[in-house]
Amino acid sequence: MRYFLVLIFVGLLAACESPQVESEGNTSPSILNPTNEVVLYSEIKWSALNPARGAIGPRAANLWGNRTKAGPTGFLVQFVDGFSSPPHIHNVTYRGMVISGLVHNDDPQAEKMWLPPGSFWTQPAGEVHITAASGSKNLAYIEIDGGPYLVLPSEDASDQG
């Protein structure tokens, strides 16, 4: 028994001293200039996510990075109740998380699957989809690894594998 406890202790000690190695699949960019900046919701600057949609379209606000330029970005998107986009694609893969309200993001022919707050989805680049919202206050967080984030017509669809 004593020998077993010594082996466990030595194993834990060795694990604590081993250098951390990043996995080859980890493609997350490192934060070069971290800050402790705090932005209140009331201070967020909103603009049209897709200016072509006008006042009926979603509004977006960059939290970090800039979705209209190269580089990684995280931003918020607001949808009005009953919003439903036409079928479209994006030039980049994005990850989304519902913060409030209900969001549907899927193939144009798919039956509505309303994602409640806390739900997460990934939208592959070039894949045709629609986005819809239901609720008095619909808000989602979107994150991309590299921009710019563009909304393109479904005719430009491509299979990214």
Structural domains in the chain plus CATH codes: 42-153 (2.60.120.10)
Angle at 73 between CA 115 and CA 76, to 5 degrees: 40
- Give residue 154's pLDDT band: very low, low, confident or very high (50, 70, 90): confident
Average pLDDT value over all residues in the chain: 82
For the whole model, what pTM was predicted?
Answer: 0.74
pLDDT tens digit sequence for 106-134: 999 999 999 999 999 999 999 999 999 99
Compute the Cα dihedral for 42, 47, 53, 54 and give only its sign.
positive
